[in-house]
Amino acid sequence: MVNIHGVNRKLFIVLVVVLFFSLFYTSGAFVWVTGKVSGFCSASCEDTDQGNIYVKGRVNFVTDNCRRDLEPKIDYCDNSRPDYLKEYKCDITTTENWKSELVYCENGCKDGACL
């Protein structure tokens, strides 16, 4: 290796630093700085009641920009219309990866589920 005024040593140090930060960044270690997971991640969603309107559920998800939403969506009864349930479901065709529906409950709604 020819060393012309320390050029090869400087190049080696730069490459090591770039490699270190590349690995650090793709591992998701910058999540505390950016609020985003910055590695390999994909949108995902979990519905704990699997769309069952007779069970109170919650939707946990990671959005397309690899950011975990800190507040899951939780099914609830609509206070202004006591026979209706706000039901959250996974829908990976949307940017948020979830959708909500207002569902009529024949026997009323209580504590986030149809009776």
49 and 105 fall within a common domain: yes
* Parallel, antiparallel or unpaired: strands 58-62 and 44-47: antiparallel
Distance, in Å, from the CA atom of 33 to the CA atom of 43, rounded to the nearest integer, reads 21
Q: Would you give per-residue pLDDT tens digits along the chain (115 residues)? A: 455 555 677 777 878 777 766 665 555 555 545 455 445 556 677 888 888 999 999 888 765 555 555 578 899 998 888 899 999 988 877 766 778 899 999 999 999 999 9
35 and 58 fall within a common domain: no
84 and 33 fall within a common domain: no
51 and 91 fall within a common domain: yes
78 and 64 fall within a common domain: yes
Tokens 């730069």 sit at which residue?
14
Domain count, the chain: 2
5 and 34 fall within a common domain: yes
Model pLDDT for residues 49-73, shown as the tens digit of each residue: 888 999 999 888 765 555 555 578 8
Q: Which domain holds residue 11?
A: 1-40
51 and 14 fall within a common domain: no
pTM reported for the whole predicted model: 0.57
48 and 32 fall within a common domain: no
29 and 70 fall within a common domain: no
